[in-house]
Amino acid sequence: MGSRDDDSQSTEGQGYAADINSIREAQARIAPYVHKTPILSSTSIDAIAGKQLFFKCECFQKAGAFKIRGASNSIFALDDNQASKGVVTHSSGNHAAAVALAAKLRGIPAYIVIPKNAPACKVDNVKRYGGRVIWSDANMESRESIARRVQEETGAVLVHPFNDKYTISGQGTVSLELLEQVPEIDTIVVPISGGGLISGVALAAKAINPSIRILAAEPKGANDSAQSKAAGRIIKLATTDTIADGLRAFLGDLTWPVVRDLVDDIIVVDDNAIVDAMKMCYETLKVAVEPSGAIGLAAVLSDEFKQSSAYHESSKIGIIVSGGNVDLRLLWDSLYK
Amino acid sequence: MGSRDDDSQSTEGQGYAADINSIREAQARIAPYVHKTPILSSTSIDAIAGKQLFFKCECFQKAGAFKIRGASNSIFALDDNQASKGVVTHSSGNHAAAVALAAKLRGIPAYIVIPKNAPACKVDNVKRYGGRVIWSDANMESRESIARRVQEETGAVLVHPFNDKYTISGQGTVSLELLEQVPEIDTIVVPISGGGLISGVALAAKAINPSIRILAAEPKGANDSAQSKAAGRIIKLATTDTIADGLRAFLGDLTWPVVRDLVDDIIVVDDNAIVDAMKMCYETLKVAVEPSGAIGLAAVLSDEFKQSSAYHESSKIGIIVSGGNVDLRLLWDSLYK
């Protein structure tokens, strides 16, 4: 992290890594490179949820996930000298593809460190966009050390998947769009992993409407954020176990303060609920959603949410469907095996 | 057909069953009951097609297909006296669900004659919307005779799936929306079955832009429209055999003149190409599309199209993705068995 400049911690306001200004700047910077994704709704699903739901479909985003927002903001903010040596990142998939695509759009090389357990469809995306794939072991230490070595060897700039001002600011543009499209939303449900998306979403949404509720949705098998909120400090897990391959990272020092202060609650759901939500997305919403993208719906349909005060106080809920890069075979196996 | 009034053949202009005025009236009438569906695009698919494609996603429409447009136009055009006895239709699925939903919205009974070979997910939709299911054999004679008997017994008004002024006018609203959303489209590709959708689409689009090209996409195993165009008269087939369960009907006396005069060409594709297009819709466009809804993409990617003059003369192509009601198991079986 800390590419481009060293002011990640010194932005205005309350000292978070990003703010409404950096997010609006990101929106202007990335506009040529991203889709404004549509909102879908379903009266059938609303009837099941007992709430009016607005699905912000980032599965239709370029490269199939919201990640292009942060990646293109990071990469197009580089000056020509920094950019010329290329960029490097480590990622299980969606961020990797987004960095590869944004680098291709800028005309610079992208070195992508990918853990061996990444889904095939996500690796294919990286290759399709011309990313140079470098394999690592599945654990974060291997990913990070290999990425560091590539940095040293090439002079490439690291584009961090979440713990970076430009990444967070780019992801926050989801929130700006959502609140332009459906201003009356009172609650936003966001998948949480490293916290880049939810930090950007929360910072933008609470700047626009301080009373808006931000809820995180987290898989039971990687519930480090819920544990961190409870403990009041960053908790990292020894292992994770969830079908949601995009939600296995832990909070960073730039995302944790935002999660600590601006995320109202974290709803933890198990993998069965995620798979049920994926099926509902396919059969009723008619959308291909990856496990990490379906978790928001799973959270809204969970007993934990229905028994919370947030349920009774919410009426119009935005759900960020973060991505759609799913192997069809994985969906099938999850449902019927 | 011939419900509501008897002017189906006496509209303005060139004597077709509908025109831009009846389609604009339909748009105003049905606005409270339908979604304005989004347009999706994919640079990856554009690169494969060699054209800029705009997918009009009626799979996200209420009840999962464009059919609610015609059904709600028909049902809300009834006077209270006509409506009080309810409505009846026969359909393999999407029109049936749409009639059930529109009748529910109007608060009147819907009697739905469904052939025994209809996909389970479509029958479920009819029941979910409160339609009263009456089973028939798969053939059109059985469907029509049972629907007639219900009409006689109940006094219900027939809502024809395609051969009706109000149905055609309702379906034509797809075209109005598409050309509002992407005015620069030069070609529209539309699935063809009984011809209700393509008639409405062609009548609206050519009224707005007479030079626009209208191409039909038809399955090889139910290519009655292509045969009809070649013969210069309505051809009906003894049997049909295609995975596209929504495209097995034949043209009617109100849709044939429009298809004859305003449809520029019919592209015939086989079931393998339809399945490949469904897979591409799922994996790249991130959309659940039924076989009948994927046929437009299959047509655009076909050798037949690439070798036609229409290919060289087109640049920005609208593809009507007509519906998304697909059993996940059917998709899986089609792809991997």
Contact (CB, 8 A) for A118 and A139: no
Q: Is A35 helix (H, G, I), strand (E, B) or coil?
A: coil
Which of B25, B324, B28, B58 is CA-nearest to residue B178? B58
- How far apart CA A167 and CA A76 sit, in angstroms, is 11
For residue B1, the model assigns a pLDDT of 37
In A137-251, beta strands by DSSP E: 157-158, 187-191, 213-219
Q: Is the pLDDT of residue B122 over 70?
A: yes
What mean pLDDT, rounded, does chain A reach?
A: 93
Are A78 and A159 within 8 A, CB to CB?
A: no
- ipTM value, please give it: 0.87
What average pLDDT does this structure show over B288-308?
96
Q: Residues A21-48: pLDDT tens digits? A: 999 999 999 999 999 999 999 999 999 9
CA distance B316 to B318: 7
pLDDT value at residue B32:
98
What is the Cα gyration radius of chain A? 18
Active site residue B67: yes
A185 to chain B nearest CA, in Å? 19
A296 closest CA partner among A320, A327, A264, A326: A320
Q: Which residue of the set A8, A22, A91, A92 is catalytic?
A: A92
User: Pick from B40, B62, B283: which is nearest to A60 by CB?
Assistant: B40
Judged against a pLDDT cut of 80, whether residue B85 lies above it is answered with yes
pLDDT band at B12 (very low <50, low <70, confident <90, very high): very low
Backbone φ and ψ of A233, nearest 5°: -155, 165
CB < 8 Å to B282, chain A: 288, 328
Higher pLDDT, A187 or A245: A187
- CB contacts under 8 A, A 40-99 vs B, are 40-41, 43-44, 57, 59-60, 62, 64
Residues 19-38 of A with CB under 8 A from B: 35, 38
Burial of A309 (0-12, 13-18, 19+ CB in 10 A): exposed
Q: What is the sign of the dihedral through the CA atoms of A225, A226, A229 and A234?
A: negative
Task: Say if A324 is an interface residue toward chain B (CB within 8 Å).
Answer: yes
Residues linked to residue B89 through DSSP beta bridges, in sequence order: B112
Report, as an integer, the average pLDDT of A195-207: 98
Helix axes A291-300, A271-280, angle to 10 degrees: 100
Q: Report the pLDDT value the prediction gives residue A337, as an integer from 0 to 100.
A: 57
Please determine, for residue A12, whether its predicted confidence score (pLDDT) is greater than 70.
no
Question: What's the whole-number mean pLDDT along residues A116-120?
Answer: 83
**Residue at A22: amino acid letter:** S
Confidence grade of residue A136 (pLDDT, cut at 50, 70, 90): very high
Nearest CA in chain B to A122: B283
Strand order in the sheet with B157-158: B132-136, B110-115, B87-90, B157-158
pLDDT of residue B115: 86
Q: With a cut of 60, say whether residue B225 has pLDDT above it.
A: yes
Whether A10 shows a pLDDT value over 80: the answer reads: no
Sequence-distant (≥ 6) Cβ neighbours of residue B107 within 8 angstroms: none
Contacts B64 to A, Cβ<8 Å: 286
Q: How far apart are CA B140 and CA A169, in angstroms?
A: 58
Residue B45 has pLDDT above 90, yes or no: yes
Whether the pLDDT of residue B6 is over 90: the answer is: no
| pLDDT for residue B24 | 98
> Which residues from chain A sit within 8 angstroms of residue B62, using beta carbons?
43
- Residue A169 in contact with residue A301, Cβ under 8 Å? no
Round the CA-based radius of gyration of chain B to a whole number and report it. 18
* Confidence check: pLDDT of A130 > 50: yes
Backbone CA torsion sign across A329, A333, A335, A336: positive
Using a CB-CB cut-off of 8 Å, the residues of chain B touching A286 are: 57, 59-60, 64, 287-289, 324
Closest-approach residue (CA) in chain B for A36: B40
| Residue A90 host element (H or E) | strand A87-90
* pLDDT value of residue A274: 96
Strands (E), chain B: 39-40, 52-57, 87-90, 110-115, 132-136, 157-158, 187-191, 213-219, 265-269, 316-321
| Chain B CB within 8 Å of residue A135 CB | no
Q: What is the pLDDT of residue B46?
A: 97
Is A104's Cβ below 8 Å from some Cβ in B? no
Alpha helices by DSSP H, listed for A16-128, are 20-30, 43-49, 67-76, 80-84, 94-106, 120-128
Paired residues of A287 in beta bridges: B287
- d(CA B55, CA A37) in angstroms, rounded, equals 14
Helices and strands per DSSP (H, E), number in chain B: 16, 10
Question: Is the per-residue pLDDT at A13 higher than 70?
Answer: no
Q: In the prediction, which pLDDT does A336 show? A: 66
The sign one gets for the Cα dihedral A279, A284, A287, A292 is: negative
Whether residue B323 is predicted with pLDDT greater than 60 in this model: the reply is: yes
Q: DSSP secondary structure string, A296-314?
A: HHHHHTSHHHHTSHHHHH-
- Tokens of residue A281, six digits: 């997305």
Per DSSP, the residues of B154-219 read H-PEE--SSSSHHHHHHHHHHHHHHHHH-TT--EEEEE-SSSHHHHHHHHHHHHH-TT-EEEEEEE
Residues B48, B301 contacting (CB under 8 angstroms): yes
Q: How confident is the model at residue A2 (pLDDT cuts 50, 70, 90)?
A: very low
Element containing residue A265 per DSSP (H, E): strand A265-269
CA-nearest residue to A326 within chain B is B283
Residues of B165-188 as b/e, b for ≥16 C-beta within 10 angstroms? bbbbbbbbbbbbbbbeebeebbbb
Residue B258 has a pLDDT of: 98
pLDDT for residue B337? 57
Residue A271 has pLDDT above 70, yes or no: yes
| Nearest Cβ partner for A283 among B62, B121, B286 | B121
pLDDT at A229: 97
A63: left (phi over 0), alpha (psi -120 to 50) or beta: left
> Of the candidates B229, B221, B217, which has an alpha carbon nearest to the alpha carbon of residue B255?
B229
Does residue A245 register a pLDDT over 90? no
User: Tokens representing B244?
Assistant: 């596209």
Give the C-alpha distances (Å, rounded to integers) separating A67 from A33, A58, A123, A147, A160.
12, 9, 15, 19, 11
Q: Please, which residues 240-279 of chain B have a Cβ atom closer than 8 Å to chain A?
A: 279
Please give, rounded to a whole number of angstroms, the shortest distance from the CA of B62 to a CA of chain A: 8
Strand B265-269: give its sheet, edge to edge: B39-40, B52-57, B316-321, B187-191, B213-219, B265-269
Which residue in A has a C-alpha nearest to residue B43's C-alpha?
Answer: A62
pLDDT number for residue A93: 83
- Residue A111 has a pLDDT of 97
Q: Residue B16: which of B191, B198, B224, B187 has the closest Cα?
A: B198
CB B286 to CB A59 under 8 A? yes
Hey, are the CB atoms on B60 and A286 less than 8 Å from each other?
Answer: yes
The predicted pLDDT at position A220 comes to 98
Q: Does residue A139 surpass a pLDDT of 90? A: no
| pLDDT tens-digit map of A45-89 | 999 999 999 999 999 999 999 999 999 999 999 999 999 999 999
The CA distance from A272 to A239, in Å, is 19
Q: Which structural domains are found in chain A, ordered by start?
A: 20-66+164-336 (3.40.50.1100), 67-158 (3.40.50.1100)
Q: Is the pLDDT of residue A167 over 90?
A: yes
- At residue B336 the predicted structure's pLDDT band, cuts being 50, 70 and 90, is low
Hey, is A24 helix, strand or coil?
A: helix
Give the count of beta carbons closer than 10 Å to the beta carbon of residue A144. Answer: 14
B-chain CB neighbours of A38 within 8 Å are 38, 40
- The nearest alpha carbon in chain B to A325 belongs to B283
Active site residue B10: no
pLDDT at A9 over 70: no
Side chain identity at A262, as an amino acid letter? L
SS3 A39: strand
Backbone phi, then psi, for A177, in 5-degree steps? -60, -50
Q: What is residue A316's predicted lDDT score, i.e. its pLDDT?
A: 98
